[in-house]
Structure 1
Amino acid sequence: MSSLNDSERELHQFRNRIAALVIFILVCFFFLLLRFIWVQIVRHSNYVAQAEENRISIVPTMPSRGIIMDRNGVILANNYSAYTLEITPAKIGAKLEDVIEELSQIIEITPRDRKRFKKRMEETKRFESIVLKAKLTDEEVARFSVQRYRFPGVEVQARMFRQYPLGDVASHVIGYIGRMSQKDLDNLPEEEETNYQGTTHYGKEGLEKSYERVLHGSTGYEEMEVAASGRAVRTLSTHPTVPGNNLVLSIDIELQKVVENAFGNRRGALIAMDPSTGEVLAYVSKPTFDPNLFVDGIDQQNWDELNNSINKPLINRPIRGAYPPGSTYKPFMALAALELGYRKPTDAISDPGYFDYGNHRFRDDKKGGHGIVDMYKSIVQSCDTYYYVLAAQMGVDTMHDFMKQFGFGELTGIDLAHERKGILPSTEWKRNAYKNPNQKKWYAGETISLGIGQGYNTFTPLQLAYATALLANNGSAARPHLVKDIEDGMSHERRPVTTETVKLNLKQENIDVIKRAMVGVMKEGTGARVFAGTGYTAGGKTGTAQVITIGKNEKYNAAALAEHKRDHALFTAFAPVDNPKIVIALIVENGGFGASAAAPIARKAMDYFFYGKKSAPEAVQSGNDDAYPEDPDDSQPVLLPPDSDEDSNDEG
């Protein structure tokens, strides 16, 4: 009987175990069913997308970068196609160094190529194609093609390369592109990140940088079906690129060449612009450099030569160089005197050749002085004493407030990055510029040198050109810009670029006084010899600015000074006087007198602008001379006594 009970008990236990197992299996199936519903229904679209991503590879295709041309259609920056040897590290089965070593047996791989590749490896993702060697020859392409089967993950690709066909001409205007860095990526707006996928180069300087988004275009892409090994099987769809837009500059490259050649090996800068439109006709910074060196990464030797040169060829002098304006500042001082009531045109001083203020004597450049000097003579003969007296009467803050409207000490807004403001001094500026309490105070003696464009005054050549444009064009001028039109990369339709026009509230009769005197500079003053025999009427002003201070008992002797300590030569000019079409401001660093070093460059630029390659006529100047009648003979100058520390070496 007990045996029967044991059997029944075992059977009951067995049934319970079976039941538990069935329940466990049912529970498992229930969870499997839930997982199936989750995967196949709830998350269906997500997993389909992931599956497609594993099967489909999105390959970006780079747009053709827009070209840059001058106002007459001369190409300044373009693109050309060349073959590159590229490696996708994720597709390399063997050790990467071994693969490169084997490739070097077929194609010459230089140490520089290896170094660049290693750097690019650090900057990109492993599944992206990385250039090992650029610009392969046809023979190198043929040699690799025969051996291609040995190198999975290594391909020859056709890519577009940037080229600057004129080399170092206008290099500071055009700028250059270079390898896109992580910093460039980080600075991209979020909405632009997708458009720059796969982009290898980026605008680094000049207009290439300022108009990067315009020139870049829109990135296209191909949807490729790939095998598990990563090998492309077929193209599923193609989304074409949109080429970048082209830039049509206001620069006349032939005028640019004339000016650059006129500078020769000297350092300096020149801006030529149309005051009515703001179009920059020539933008020169000397010395120049070859932007082609930077496209694929500049080598160390060339970089050291450019970066360590005493001539600083990489400095964009028209917007980054800040210089004392010297006597080119005097016409603006004279205009301030007229507008603010400090002088009438016939008011005069007696110039003994110096101006004593406090315990310091400010000397004129002419020993013995200029005699009786009215406003016309002060500009034509560039009399320093006249402006010492005027500066003492006006004071630094009055000068600052008047000059600011001409753009001195302000950004012009030109379409280039890194423009410098320069210094238009004031008592407030000095309080903010210095930490030492003694240096924060403005001393009255510091005002005197400001009148002749020295002292704390430092402006860029572009600011001087813009201020001269406002004066020459009767108080109205458009802000300077380098791009004239933006041309659609596909339709070639052009959209003009315009800028703000500034109109100053100045009296025309006062402007006429100053312009008449600036014409006098070119006819009988410091610019007369250089501008003799032109067929156009020009106004201008020469200037010479000290680089170092000369002691009380010392005399300036250029021959005894090191070249980089000699005076700067400056010149401003405009023509025709009655309706200016061109305004020029230039500086020759350490060039000496403005009349001898700077004015001849301006003459060559103006002659080319008006006559092209033809020589300027030997005839007497023509133009609307009646616009500036001579001072009445019966108008006698009114003598003004000097109002009452820095020696002047400003020739004018």
Structure 2
Amino acid sequence: MSKFEMVPFKKVNSKKFYRQNDSLFPRFFIVGLFLVVMLIIILFRTSILQLSSAEINQIPETVGQKSQMTVEAPRGDIVDLNGETLAYSVTEPMLYLNNADLSNKALNLMLLNLSNLMLENGVDLPDNLTQYFDYSTDSKSKDDKTNATFVFKKDLKEIERWQQNSDLFGLKSEDDARNKDEQVKLDSKEFYDYLLYSKFSIEDIEAGGNFLYTTEEAFQIMQMRYLILEHNWQFLTGEAILVGGPVNQKMINVIGEQNQKYAGALIAETSKRKYTNNSALFSHVLGYTGKISEAEYQNLKSFSYGLNDTVGKSGVELSAERYLHGIPGTIPYGYWQRNAEGEPEYIQGEGGVEPKAGNKVRLTLDKNVQEATLQALMENLEELRESGEEPQSTSAMTMNAKTGAVISMASIPNFHPQDFSLAQYDEKAAERVENYFSDNENKPMLNRAISEIYAPASTFKPFTACAALENNIISSGNQTYSCNGTEEIGYRVWQCYGRPIGGHGPLNLHDGMVTSCNLYFYKMGIDTGIDNLTKTFKKLGMGEYTNIDLPGEVKGIRPSPELKQQTQALPEDQQWFPADTAQSSIGQSFNSYTLVQLCRGINGIATGKLVQPHVIKEVTDENGEIVKPEVIEVEDLGFSEENIALIRDSMEGLAYNPGTTTFEAFNGYTVRVAMKTGTAEVQNSSSQNIQINSLFVCYAPADDPEIVFVSVVENTGKSGLSGVAKKVFDAYFGFNQDP
């Protein structure tokens, strides 16, 4: 048979076929009818989630109790070591909107009445829509808005993405749209008409110009309707939407007396975060709060968080969130519904549960020492700038040498936590908040003590000395290396910065530390070897997370041949050379650490103990009972007491070296201070020096350490940081400063 020939059908007895299938027809019909009904139900349930203007009166309450509203608990207070309040909560009457099952026409009228009431009583309308779409500058300045024009407030690419958001407008690109009505509206007049006639059905396009509302009234309704649109799911599921506030007593009375006119409007006492003036001293440790994001809500909803909740965004506000948050409550409210006769009937809500406030968090930081730290850093920056230097930023911290409790931690530039609470109502505060996040040069939101890494430079020489002593490379009787000024070390010619001609001659550890002779520590480091150096650095916590109880800590970089192999692209650059060990020995090359790591490491050298840095002293409940005690972790490093004493003696020597800033600050000081300065060269990817950072570390009393201080000032070789340390120690020890 040819492949093109047709295959004949077999003839079927049609009568027999129908007789066999007569009994199946009713079954198919029933199954098909069931599937159609289920499809209709699914389509109906899906359609009500779209909150279309035509169907808004059909939205059911799906969760919660209709006559009760969940209210957030006040956040717990945050206080300093001595109990001085830094962050607290107050309750304010705020305006909310709940789904009152109004028809679209009734909803628009109610929203106009409510928005007028808000404006009459000094409550701003929600700005959710006006961030994208608003009056033109010219129209906004005019009282008569009859012929007002509108503009988009963002670039058209962003406006296009906004309009295509399926949770908002769900418009489509020209290529994807089936008709013009579905297309994005990049003409502002066209978009206004879309909101007016289509999306919110404020006016009827078939009415022939017989408008219900003026342009100004229509735009007020649009702003309120867009707020509902942004919180569509919240509105659908019976959760009240925060509209604005705080509201005054007059507005409370009007809404209470005319609750049918303002159906769905609720007034509820709402917790608001406040910060004292002194909170600015603690900005990076304290952090700030803000409205819960969608991602945060998904992570926290199982812990009774709501869509209107305030949560910590940084600092202790974030790290202690679960302690500060509290337990939400419920309040009753009245609502209107139609009775069996179809008449409107007011139902008074009943019941309710008082919210339970969050716990109190007490910090380890002392306000007096914190203020002294911040003030001394600011004064030092000013003095450096007056001398012609251009320092960019600075940071410092102090820590209890025995417990790891942070006593002070400051970073400049900084921010004021209160601005984040005020931004919703204060235009200038909102501008400052925007600048905090947009200033990528000064980075005021960055806590440089834990989130920035620095080459430690010569402040790292005590670490190299510790490694050499603990590995028996040097000792009390054998610690001499000669500095010849210029010489070859590790197959490379080096120069002594202090004395390039002639050199320092033979030096012991004390003199090598005081003169900060690089050649002395190059030789010591090469003799010790990179493996022993790295092992000791790691033991002291360098290049490891300290696990301080603050968010945003970075790990740092510790030198090793493996690290060089991993970070260098070319095989010839991956080999570890003695010169690499030499550079690592003086805190350059592959050394980069946070100040909190440097503080912890110096403390380990000073005491032979590795402590756990922390900023939370304790957490207590409303009755003063301790919920979370202070966590003090101390690890004995097993260092020789003789070795600790040798390093301490060498670091104390800087206070007695005439002609230096350390001599000026600490010669003859009331307590003994061990210290080390450092000047770090910051290089770009081409190994070109692009910046100089200055660092300073110290601890006191040298013979029985109580407090450790570390600091950095960026983009200057003149640090002045020993003077900063003296002012901080004055505050800590209670000494009177020189007039």
TM-score scaled by length of structure 1: 0.77
Q: Distance in 1 between matches of 2:709 and 2:127?
A: 45
| Structure 1 residue 536 displacement after superposition | 0.9
Picking from 654, 663, 672, the partner of 1:528 is: 663
**Tell me, which stretches of 5 or more residues in structure 1 are unaligned?**
1-49, 557-564, 619-652
Residue matched to 1:201: 310
Q: Which residue of 1 aligns with 2:107?
A: 94
Per-residue Cα deviation, 1:149-200 (whole angstroms, up to 9, x for no partner): 5322123332121011125221100101100011101222xxx625213552
**Is this contact kept in 1: 2:69–2:239, CA < 8 A?**
no
Aligned to 1:246: 360
Judging changes above 3 Å, is the alpha-carbon distance between structure 1 residues 194 and 407 closer, same or farther for their aligned structure 2 residues? Answer: closer
Pairwise CA distance, 1:439: 4.4
- For 2:241, the aligned partner's letter is I
d(CA) in 2 for partners of 1:438, 1:304: 47
In structure 2, do the counterparts of structure 1 residues 493 and 374 end up closer, same or farther at CA, with 3 Å as the change threshold? closer
The correspondence of residues 27-426 of structure 1 with structure 2, limited to 5 A, is: 57-90=67-100, 93-95=106-108, 98-99=112-113, 101-108=115-122, 110=124, 113-115=127-129, 118=226, 122-123=230-231, 125-126=234-235, 127-137=238-248, 150-166=261-277, 167-188=279-300, 193=302, 195-197=304-306, 199-222=308-331, 228=337, 233-264=347-378, 265=381, 267-295=393-421, 301-309=431-439, 310-345=441-476, 346-357=478-489, 360-367=492-499, 368=501, 369-426=503-560
Give secondary structure in 1 for the equivalent of 2:676. Answer: strand
- Shift of residue 113, structure 1, vs aligned partner: 3.5
Matches within 5 A, 1:465-504: 465-473=599-607, 475-493=608-626, 495-504=628-637
2:737 to 601, 615, 619: 615
Report the secondary structure of 1:332's partner residue: helix
Aligned counterparts of 1:205 and 1:392: Cα–Cα separation in 2 = 43
Q: Does 1:591 align with 2:716?
A: yes
Query: Displacement of 1:268 after TM fit?
Result: 1.6
> In the alignment, residue 512 of structure 1 is paired with which amino acid?
A
Question: Do 2:115 and 2:125's aligned partners in 1 also have CA atoms closer than 8 Å?
Answer: no
**Could you give the per-residue CA deviations for residues 538-565 of structure 1, whole angstroms, max 9, x where no partner exists?**
111111111248999x9x9xxxxxxxx5
- Aligned ranges for residues 410-449 of structure 1 at < 5 Å? 410-449=544-583
Please report how far the alpha carbon of residue 576 of structure 1 lies from its aligned counterpart in structure 2 after TM superposition.
1.1
Counterpart of 1:604?
A: 727
* Deviation string, structure 1 residues 404-462 (Cα, Å, up to 9, x no partner): 01010000111011210110021122333345544443344322211111112000000
Residue correspondence of structure 1 range 505-544 to structure 2 within 5 A: 505-524=638-657, 526=660, 527-544=662-679
Q: Matched residues, percent identical?
A: 28
Distance 2:596 2:717 in 1: 21
Q: CA RMSD in A?
A: 3.2
Structure 1 residue 572: deviation in Å?
A: 0.8
Secondary structure of the residue aligned to 1:529 is helix
Quick one: distance in 1 between partners of 2:267 and 2:686? 68
The amino acid across from 1:615 in the alignment is Q
Q: Deviation at 1:140?
A: 6.0
Matched residue SS, 2:324: helix
1:478 is displaced (CA, Å) by 2.5
Question: Structure 1, residues 189-245: CA drift from partner, whole Å, max 9, x if none?
Answer: xxx625213552111100010010011112223577866469873454333322211
Alpha carbons 1:400, 1:424 under 8 Å: kept = yes
For 1:119 and 1:296, how far apart are their aligned partners in 2?
Answer: 20
Offset of 1:262 from its aligned partner? 1.1
Q: For residues 54 and 279 of structure 1, what CA distance do their matches in structure 2 show?
A: 45
Contact 1:55 1:226 in 2 (8 A): no
Q: What is the CA–CA distance in structure 2 between the aligned matches of 1:296 and 1:545, rounded to whole Å?
A: 40
Deviation for aligned residue 1:569: 1.4
Residue equivalent to 1:32: none
TM-score relative to the length of structure 2: 0.69
Q: Does 1:582 align with 2:717?
A: no
Distance 1:502 1:232, change over 3 A: farther
Write the distance in 1 (CA, Å) between the matches of 2:587 and 2:651: 17
Between the two proteins, the alignment pairs up a number of residues equal to: 551
C-alpha displacement of 1:358: 6.1
Please say which of residues 208-217 and 392-401 is displaced more in the overlay: 392-401
Q: Is the 8 A contact 1:427 1:442 kept in 2?
A: yes
How far apart, CA to CA, are the structure 2 residues paired with 1:231 and 1:534? 81
